Structure 1
Amino acid sequence: MSTRYPFPDIQNLPEDLRSKILEVQEKAGFVPNVFLALARRPAEWRAFFAYHDALMVPESVGRTSNLTKGDREMIVTTTSAANQCLYCVVAHGAILRIYEKKPLVADQVAVNYRKADITPRQRAMLDFAMKVCTASDQVEDADFAALHVHGFDDEDIWDITAITAFFGLSNRMASVTGMMPNPEFYLMGRVPKTKV
């Protein structure tokens, strides 16, 4: 729940927002707070989630990518930790645990990705993402070359950059608004789901 800006009532939202939020609730079993926190400004909500989906679900816009879903969430978790964004570390860390099928990796990359149980390719990806996050003005051709060694092409590097930059925006909005992670995120990917 956001502590600085009250969430709007779902019933008072425009139909497209309400429909998408209810769809997410049906799929996840709860409504992630980011969907409600940003819904107070419908035009910004639409733009935010359109760009989010283009980056995080590239197939939704007819684009392919060499980054896995786990890679994308690893970038978000690592850079969100650098930005000290509780909401995004917890929420995207939960998704990362599910995609990577490694319950500890999200905690590891959030605390110190350099000591995490990740591949050299992922380490190179996160080295670059962190440079974009903290010193983008210092990115140079050698940084591209270091990623090329691991099989990343220039479009992949664009993706790493765009994901890092987009979530820099998201981190700041979540922090300033006081957005808190939903309790459900804390257990996702840590304990097996019970079968009904």
Structure 2
Amino acid sequence: MTTPRKTSRASGKKTASKAKPQVKPTAWVRVPEESEVPEDVRVLFGKFKEKTGFIPNVARNFALTPEHFLRWFRYYDFLMRNEDQSHLTRKEREMIAVVVSSANECEYCLASHSAYLREITGDPVLPDVLAANYRRAHLTPREHALLEFAYQITVDSASMSSADVQMLRAIGLSDEAIFEAAQVAAMFNFTNRIANAMGWVPNEIYYHLHRDKK
């Protein structure tokens, strides 16, 4: 009598092909691959990676229209990163970004600029307080006035008057600083609305960055 051969457990089963890992979408519209974007955008991506170790999703998402992205980024970068010609401190600009993004319920900008504010201040709590209720934060009179101004621009700009500008002049801000504050607030109202409308998802790392005090 012939002893039947033992069959392998794997016999008769199809070998599963290695599936590509699922990548969580970062927008509700198409996000271009890095190989698709123009050279000047790839160079900018490289600078992001060199500086932070990752490419912000805002850059990947916005690069769907490369020229729009580059023009937006030049203005944004000058407005938020320039020190030599700015009339506001970096802290003031980032606080405006957080307060405006909170008022607009923009997950992307709130996550990213809370991280930037934690980085430059070494304070892991301040961005959370600003996002919840900026009027409860420990602010200087100048900071408080700037955030009131930015909030008013965000929620009811049509009702503003020269008195809102005079309030800032009264505490020592120049007209140039006031105009810059208005531009920062407007930049985030613009970007918040695009991010919300297109479903932009922030890089998860933003939620973890700079949580420890310096």
Q: Do they fold alike, i.e. is TM over 0.5? A: yes
The aligned residue for residue 46 of structure 1 is: 70
Identity across aligned pairs (percent)? 37
Q: Identify the match of residue 113 of structure 2 among 68, 92, 95.
A: 92
Matched-pair contact (CA < 8 Å) for 1:76–1:88: yes
Query: Structure 2, unaligned stretches of length 5 or more?
Result: 1-24
Q: Identify the match of residue 162 of structure 2 among 114, 118, 141.
A: 141
Give 3-state SS (helix, strand or coil) of 2:45's partner.
helix
Letter in 2 for 1:53: D
Query: Structure 1, unaligned stretches of length 5 or more?
Result: none
1:101 correspondence with 2:122: yes
Matched-pair contact (CA < 8 Å) for 1:75–1:163: yes
Q: Identify the match of residue 80 of structure 1 among 96, 101, 105.
A: 101
Q: Identify the match of residue 35 of structure 1 among 59, 74, 83.
A: 59
After superposition, the C-alpha distances for 1:79-100 in whole angstroms (9 at most, x for unaligned) are: 1100010100010011011112
Give 3-state SS (helix, strand or coil) of 1:40's partner.
coil
The aligned residue for residue 58 of structure 1 is: 82
1:192 Cα shift? 6.3
The aligned residue for residue 137 of structure 2 is: 116
Structure 1 Cα separation of the partners of residues 197 and 160 of structure 2 = 28
Question: TM-score, normalised to structure 2's length?
Answer: 0.84
Matched-pair contact (CA < 8 Å) for 2:124–2:213: no
1:118 Cα shift? 2.0
Matched-pair contact (CA < 8 Å) for 2:26–2:202: no
Aligned 1:137-176 pairs, distance under 5 A: 137-176=158-197
Greater shift, 117-126 or 71-80, is seen at 117-126
Question: TM-score, normalised to structure 1's length?
Answer: 0.92
After superposition, the C-alpha distances for 1:144-182 in whole angstroms (9 at most, x for unaligned) are: 121112221111111111111111110011111111111
1:143 Cα shift? 1.2
RMSD over equivalenced CA pairs, Å? 1.5
Structure 2 Cα separation of the partners of residues 72 and 179 of structure 1 = 22
